[in-house]
Homo-oligomer: A and B are copies of this chain.
Amino acid sequence: MRVFNFNGGPAALPVEVLEQVAAEMLDWRGVGMSVMEASHRSKEVAAMTAEAEADLKELLGLDGGWRALFLQGGASLQFAMIPMNFAPDGAPCDYVDTGLWSTKAFQEAKICGADARLAASSAEDKFVFIPSEFDFRPQARYVYLTSNNTVRGTQWSSFPQDAPAPLTADMSSDFLSRPLDLTKFSLVHAGAQKNVGPAGLTIVLIRPEFAATGRSGLPHLLDYRTYIESDSMYNTPPVFAIYVAGLVFKWLKGTMGGLAAVERRNRVKAATLYGAIDGSGGFYRGAARPDSRSLMNVTYRLPSEALEMTFLAEAKKAGFDGLGGHRSVGGVRASLYNAVELKAVEALAAFMAEFARKNG
């Protein structure tokens, strides 16, 4: 029996995609083998990869000035690749620190020898908000931010329009959850394991003209140009993960009706859950500042840690999984990625109301 899956990532995937994956496991596209057994140089896998890139660009409305690439290593490898490519030899780069993942990105830039500085930070208030004022340096090679913060449950609703350098962003946890205006951006990365597919695939959107400004002489796998020039096929890519991601892109285009419709659904889901929190008479308290609340990760607390433990245990028994807060902060977190259905959120809201009634 399937549970209601509120995992922070890896996270829920669309059932119709999983059913197709299972059905094609022994014979994919009639080639007489699993997609995992097919050569990445075969015309079928090359076509599938090209189709995935095209579908992704169509979903996001990206033009020929962008490439969508399929990498490995997760956001953590991007934390190093971005400064290695774009801020070598102590070049300046500006970071906005909105929590655990941007802190890590910032630290990794310093490890790589970049002159990385904070243009803004919400550390002063435990990262419960998104800053709105920035101290950008004109000479910065790029600005780095994290569009959605899974730990505290905050999200940028709009991005800085006046940054003097190209924006780069980790969008792992809200990628494809809404339409994106990437005018000010030059690079976006996203681990697949939230809204896209299995862990082990990292999607990078990049402007080739930005990639061309990167340091030369890097190891091949750490240079974005390698992926651009080889259509993500310099070496064997994570074929199965690209395959699942491609099915998710088609599900987003077809069943879900595109990213504008996806955003509308996500707003209804988030409003349902924040409504349950705000309407609980103070039993549940949202962890993020209201103006910075995430549509993807709804974080909240109960009157005591003991009650939180009881809540999580009873929720699990009732078929709600993955509700524990990030191990660094505790509390409750419900992640509402694209594949989480409204009925799951409504069921959780009802469960919360009943729990508050019994324990309030």
A residues sitting closer than 8 Å to B (CB atoms) are 1-3, 5, 7-13, 15, 18-19, 21-23, 25-27, 31-34, 36-41, 72-77, 79-80, 84, 108, 111-112, 191, 193, 197-201, 217-222, 234-241, 244, 319, 321-322, 327
Contacts and interface: CB of A to CB of B under 8 A. Distances in A.
Contacts of A219: 77, 79-80, 84, 108, 111-112
Nearest to A77: B221
A34 B319 CA distance: 15
A39 B9 CA distance: 6
A72 B11 CA distance: 20
Tallying the copies of this chain within the complex gives 2
Contacts of A222: 80
A112 to B, nearest CB: 6
Nearest to A219: B80
| A9, A11, A217, A240: residue with the most chain B Cβ atoms closer than 10 Å | A240
A241 B12 CA distance: 17
Contacts of A237: 199-200
Top 8 A-B pairs, shortest CB-CB distance: A200-B238, A3-B32, A80-B219, A22-B25, A72-B72, A76-B235, A36-B198, A199-B236
Contacts of A37: 5, 7, 10-13
Given A18-B34, A200-B239, A76 B322 contact: no
A56 B20 CA distance: 31
B13 A220 contact: no
Given A26-B15, A201-B200, A221-B80, A74 B236 contact: yes
Contact of A10 (B22, B39, B108, B191): B39
A103 to B, nearest CB: 13
Contacts of A322: 39
B18 A26 contact: yes
Contacts of A73: 72-73, 77, 221
Nearest to A201: B200
A244 B36 contact: yes
Contacts of A111: 217-220
Contacts of A319: 32
26 contacts: A1-B27, A1-B32, A7-B39, A8-B39, A9-B39, A10-B239, A11-B37, A18-B34, A18-B36, A22-B26, A32-B321, A36-B197, A72-B200, A72-B238, A74-B236, A76-B220, A76-B221, A76-B235, A111-B217, A111-B219, A199-B236, A199-B240, A200-B240, A200-B241, A238-B238, A240-B241
A194 to B, nearest CB: 10
B13 A36 contact: yes
Contacts of A221: 73-74, 76-77, 80
Contacts of A5: 32-33, 37
B27 A2 contact: yes
Contact of A239 (B2, B199, B220, B236): B199
A327 B41 CA distance: 9
| A7, A38, A222, A238: residue with the most chain B Cβ atoms closer than 10 Å | A238
Nearest to A202: B72
A183 B32 CA distance: 41
Nearest to A226: B76
A23 B10 CA distance: 20
A237 B238 CA distance: 13
Contacts of A76: 220-221, 234-235
Contacts of A236: 9-10, 74, 191, 193, 199
